[in-house]
Amino acid sequence: MCYNQMVDWFSFGCVVAEFISGKNPFRTETALNFGMEKEKKTKEKAIDFATLEMKPELKPKYFSGFSSDFCTRLLDKNPQTRLGSGGIEEIMDHKMFEGLNWEMIISDRKVPPFIPAKDVNAASQSDIGTFAEEKNNDTASNDKDDSVYQNWDWTNPKAYAAEVIEFLIYERETGEPLLPPSHGDGCCCTIL
């Protein structure tokens, strides 16, 4: 079977469900138990199995009729019957988006309800580096370790220089300084 956008619609369903409820529908205790009952040996395998086989539970506490229907149809295991199999218009026409003016959004004439700051609240990629596939979950920190790093203030000069250069290039290309964010209501983003 070839990869197509139906996989993306399923992923979109997971993201929307998580935005609504605060939890990925396949990363729950119920999903873990579902996989473990089928004799999957590790947590990862159990959750993978649940993602492939389990019908997610969308609690009415979080999901209205429209949002429940929207997520349930996006999370349909059958790509031929999944919401979006008839094209993006199928998703745009769902009752979940009733009253939304897609024309204004597509033509970029709709002002977003929230515009995030230009900075990223994360370490730069060069600071983070890459990680091996092995998991080192069995390494625990203790009081001695904590005391050693309590006043740690070293910065990698190469990573710092690379980040400063990135900012200077941005300022030169845009003609605007990169300013610290002004934090409003504490919300990080809004997805329509």
Distance CA 179, CA 118 (A): 8
Q: What is the pLDDT of residue 153?
A: 83
Residues 164 and 190 in one domain: yes
Q: Give the other-Cβ count within 10 Å of 50's Cβ.
A: 25
Residues 87 and 142 in one domain: no
Distance CA 94, CA 82 (A): 13
Structural domains counted in the chain: 2
Residues 91 and 162 in one domain: no
Domain boundary among 91, 106, 121: 106
Residues 93 and 125 in one domain: no
CATH code: domain of residue 24: 1.10.510.10
Does position 8 have pLDDT exceeding 90, yes or no? yes
Domain boundary among 81, 106, 131: 106
Q: What is the pLDDT of residue 192?
A: 47
Residues 130 and 188 in one domain: yes
Residues 132 and 184 in one domain: yes
Q: Is the pTM of this model over 0.75?
A: no
pLDDT tens by residue, 125-180: 666 766 655 555 566 778 888 888 888 888 888 888 888 888 888 888 888 877 76
Instruction: Quote the mean pLDDT of the chain.
Output: 83
Instruction: Estimate the crossing angle of helix 43-53 against helix 29-37, to 10 degrees.
Output: 90
Residues 27 and 90 in one domain: yes
Residues 135 and 155 in one domain: yes
Give residue 51's domain range.
5-106
Minimum mean pLDDT among 52-56, 119-123, 132-136: which range? 132-136
Residues 35 and 123 in one domain: no
Q: Which residues of 122-148 are buried (b: 16+ CB within 10 A; e: fewer)?
A: eeeeeeeeeeeeeeeeeeeeeeeeeee
65: Cβ–Cβ under 8 A, 6 or more apart, which residues? Answer: none
pLDDT tens by residue, 129-140: 666 555 555 667
Residues 14 and 100 in one domain: yes
Domain boundary among 75, 106, 137: 106
Residues 30 and 88 in one domain: yes
Minimum mean pLDDT among 29-38, 114-123, 174-183: which range? 174-183
Q: What is the pLDDT of residue 16?
A: 97
